[in-house]
Structure 1
Amino acid sequence: MTNNRFFSRTAWLASSVLILIFGSSSHAIAETEGPNGEKAVPYTNISLTAKQQAEAREKNLKAAILMHSTSDWSNALIAGAKDTFSKLNIEIVAVTDAEFNANKQKTDVETALVRKPDIIISLVVDPVSGAAAFRPAIEQGTKLVLISNLPSGFEHGKDYAGIVTDDLFQMGRIAADLIAEAVDGSGNVGFIHHEADYYVTNQRDQATLSNLKRFYPDINVVAKRGIANAHDGEVIASAMITQNPNLKAIYAPWDSIAEGVVAATRAAGRKDIKVITMDLGAANALDMAKNRNVSGIVTDLPYELGETLARMGTLAKLGEYTPPFVTVGASAVTRDNLISAWENALKRPAPKSVYRALSK
């Protein structure tokens, strides 16, 4: 997944804050809190009773899914939402892609509102303009459920039913563990971080670094570079490798950047440099299956995220309480569990090329 689902933290585009509390134990306690300090509720806690499901089916509700971009991740989320709505007899009246453009998202909202949806699921591209763009939906009585991003000035229960996002600290901790596994617990590594005010990537990167420092003191981050354009991954990684020939691994903040890092390792003839990244993608999965450079990937659960969003919207429309902040977990992907992890996260078969590579 590219940075298209990420957003600026400067105006609380972020929907969560990482809190590190160091107690008397040797381990850090990590919590992901909501924008107003809300305690995260596990997505598994969000469900409808049989009575609520029956009530929803009788209402013939309508829903719109207004996405910020298109990707494997977005497609899996949409599938989860669609499947849940279908079981509840809720008609999908619109599925849109804003192409990470706030103006287009405003148009998408206006177009969707013509169909009078009872529920809208969306990741708001810009918190300021998005607050104005979605205001007519709220005034129309539509229940808004947010993916990760909180529009400026919105109040829980009044303007939106809740936020659903990833457990960002967990993702960073898993990434640190995968880096440590790739280098056998010690050695020099390169670290590419997202050099922009995008909260999700910033916090995942920072959580990875903090966990490396705390739990793996024998791993040295000897090269650290920021990246703003995902297409620059190969150039940045090539410079890292040239300047630090003793690198054992490189971390990339998401999958398309990792593809560039892999290209750099191949160009340098460095099959020994391992690549660790966030988010499943076909190219990196194939590289992992071929036992080349990609050794570890952190994935979340976009399908379950979609299911949760749909349930939250339905509950809100039924007049039930919905928590302000809900998180979905993450897991580690290695060559050993690649197929099961892919299918568990994206709820579809892995590419045939991956199957073939694993069978060799």
Structure 2
Amino acid sequence: MVALASITSLLTGCSSDSGSGGAGSTGSGDPLANVTAKELIPSGIVGLGPNGVKSGTLDQVKLTEDEVAKAKARKFRVGIVMQTMNIEWSTEQVRAIKDRLKEYNAEVVGVVDPNFDVTKQVSGIENMIQLKPDAIISIPVDDTATAEAYRKIGAAGIKLIMMDNVPKGLKYPDDYQGMVSSDNQGNGAVCAQALAKFIPKGGTVGVLDFGVDFFVTKERMKGFVDWMKANRSDIKIKTTEFLDPANSGKDAGNFLTANPDVQGMFTEWEVPAVGIDQALRAQGKSVPITAVNIASDVAMDLATGGNIKALGAQVPYDQGLAESDMAIKVLLGGTVPNWVGFPSVPVLQKNVLDAWKQVYHQDPPAQLVKASEATNGGK
């Protein structure tokens, strides 16, 4: 996504009390100044996968040399059905899938981009089935509304590997053969832990929650709320919903106007985080925001000391590699775990460049490097 054009706000906030998860108090310091990203990493995978399953391991997905040789000889065909291609999480998933499948002499027959539209995704799934790929790798726009379309994939004899979510009612391993995601509850906990350091005792935080039946966003919300209840029960949480990511800024603005006591905001991915940031700027306010995912716009705001204070990042490139391996292994007759989860990657102003490299397996954009060098010595 395009970086925010003008980021001029300076880092403000509250200096934290001593001790883990301590409440903030009004002051001129940065409460995350003495916090390292490593300190925010949860101990192990916090969440569970679909139907409450524990995460499997990457070793269970990795192909043997013999399997790689067999895959190259078979020349499998794989389709990709995304929820949108307008975010870096999606483009990096697809890049990784293509990179890995190329190693196995497999063909990507097409990429469906419904732009968060259920009707377009259902149509895209049906069209992809007509191409008769050996496997489809996909993420649903809506867990419930797309379920029947996803059932048709297995009925057509096509293997199905899910990203992040499993549509309602689909059974493992009959309807789908595996799912890959980041530890979304863990990412929510990372965001809560970071945001809590800005909030004084008895303060109030707002949550801009995605009001659609979407497993991973609900997991992030659960991780955020559970951490707050366990560690900062003094903080009051107010929640509002948005349905259309494109209108999240308007929804955030209405919420902030109606709740002037809000001292921090959390939302479940970078698109609504940008909406919150834009709403705050329009109102002339500076409020700390935490969210999930690292993308160009939120990374730039974080690097330059804007309203974005911390992120809990997924690892979309690594996830794409694992999804590809899953697809090939099941096509060769193997079995993979119901769910494989990747640990959270906390992102702060001080480690934004290193985190970008870890998440995307690429050097960060030149503009982000320049901004980080100007504010943080290039770290």
Q: TM-score, normalised by structure 2?
A: 0.77
What SS does structure 2 have at the residue aligned with 1:32? coil
Counterpart check, 1:95 vs 2:85: no
What is the SS of the residue equivalent to 1:33? coil
Tell me the equivalent position of 1:346.
360
Does residue 80 (structure 1) correspond to residue 74 (structure 2)? The answer is no
- Give 1:119 shift: 1.6
Partner Cα separation in structure 1 for residue 166 and residue 228 of structure 2: 30
- Aligned partners of 1:43 and 1:326 also within 8 Å: yes
Answer whether contact 1:178 1:332 (CA < 8 A) is retained. no
Kindly provide the amino acid, as one letter, of the partner of residue 113 in structure 2: D
- Following TM superposition, by how much is the alpha carbon of 1:226 offset from its aligned partner in structure 2, in angstroms? 3.0
SS of residue in 2 equivalent to 1:146: strand
**Which protein has the bigger strand share?**
1
Aligned match of 1:8: none
Deviation of 1:60 (Å): 1.4
Aligned to 1:208: 224
CA distance in 2, matches of 1:231, 1:77: 22
Task: Name which of structure 1's ranges 287-296 and 146-155 shifts more when overlaid on structure 2.
Answer: 146-155
Q: Which moved more, 1:336-345 or 1:157-166?
A: 157-166
Tell me whether 1:331 sits opposite 2:359 in the alignment: no
* 2:28 paired residue number: none
> TM-score, normalised to structure 1's length?
0.81
Q: 1:182 to 1:54 in 2, by over 3 A?
A: farther
1:221 aligns with 2:236: yes
Q: State the match for 2:32 in structure 1.
A: none
Of residues 51, 57, 69 in structure 2, which corresponds to 1:42?
57
State how far apart, in whole Å, the 1-side matches of 2:119 and 2:240 are: 32
The answer to whether 1:166 aligns with 2:187 is no
Q: Which amino acid aligns with 1:295?
A: K
TM superposition shift of 1:75: 0.6
Provide, for residues 139-165 of structure 1, a one-character-per-residue CA deviation record: whole Å limited to 9, x for no partner.
443211112333454332323211222
Contact 2:186 2:343 in 1 (8 A): yes
Give the corresponding residue for 1:267. 282
Contact 1:299 1:331 in 2 (8 A): yes
Q: Equivalent of 1:302, from 316, 320, 332? A: 316
Which amino acid letter does the alignment assign opposite residue 76 of structure 1? Answer: E
- State the identity %: 26
Partner of 2:268: 253
Counterparts of 1:165 and 1:357, CA distance in 2: 30
In structure 2, give the amino acid aligned to 1:87.
Answer: E
Q: Is the 8 A contact 1:72 1:346 kept in 2?
A: no
Quote the offset at 1:69 in angstroms.
1.4
* SS of residue in 1 equivalent to 2:363: coil
After superposition, the C-alpha distances for 1:317-343 in whole angstroms (9 at most, x for unaligned) are 111111222222221111111112122
- 1:189 match: secondary structure: strand
Query: What SS is found at the alignment partner of 1:100?
Result: coil
Q: Deviations over 1:197-248 (max 9, x none)?
A: 3332223113202211211245x23644333343554445545655665654
Which residue matches 1:147?
163
The answer to whether the Cα contact below 8 Å between 1:188 and 1:249 also exists between their aligned partners in 2 is yes
* 1:187 to 1:64, Cα distance in 2 relative to 1, 3 A: same
Q: 1:99 to 1:60 in 2, by over 3 A?
A: same
CA distance in 1 between counterparts of 2:211 and 2:123 reads: 29
Deviates more, 1:96-105 or 1:122-131: 122-131
| 1:242/1:137 CA distance change after superposition, 3 Å | closer
Check the 8 A contact 2:165/2:214 in 1, yes or no: no
2:84 maps to a residue whose letter is S
Change (3 A) 1:188 1:40: same
Q: Does 1:33 align with 2:48?
A: yes
2:370 and 2:43 map into 1 onto residues whose CA distance is 41
Within the candidate set 305, 318, 328, 1:314 is matched to 328
Alignment coverage as a number of residue pairs: 333
Q: CA deviation at 1:36?
A: 3.5
Q: Which region of structure 1 is more displaced relative to structure 2, 336-345 or 119-128?
A: 119-128
Partner in structure 2 of residue 192 of structure 1: 208
Offset at residue 37 of structure 1 (A): 3.6
Deviations 1:158-216 (A, max 9, x none): 23211222322211211111112344887443333333433322231132022112112
Q: Deviations over 1:303-357 (max 9, x none)?
A: 1111111111101011111122222222111111111212222333333222221
Note the residue ranges of structure 1 that are not aligned, 5 or more in a row: 2-26
The farther-off stretch of 77-86 and 197-206 is: 197-206
Counterpart-to-counterpart distance in 1, 2:63 and 2:226: 38
Moved over 6 A (4+): 27-30
For residue 118 of structure 1, what is the amino acid of its counterpart? D
**Pair 1:291–1:50, CA change in 2 (3 A):** same
| RMSD after superposition | 2.9
The question of whether the paired residues in 2 share the 8 Å contact of 1:63 and 1:91 is answered with yes
Query: How far 1:268 moved relative to its partner?
Result: 3.8
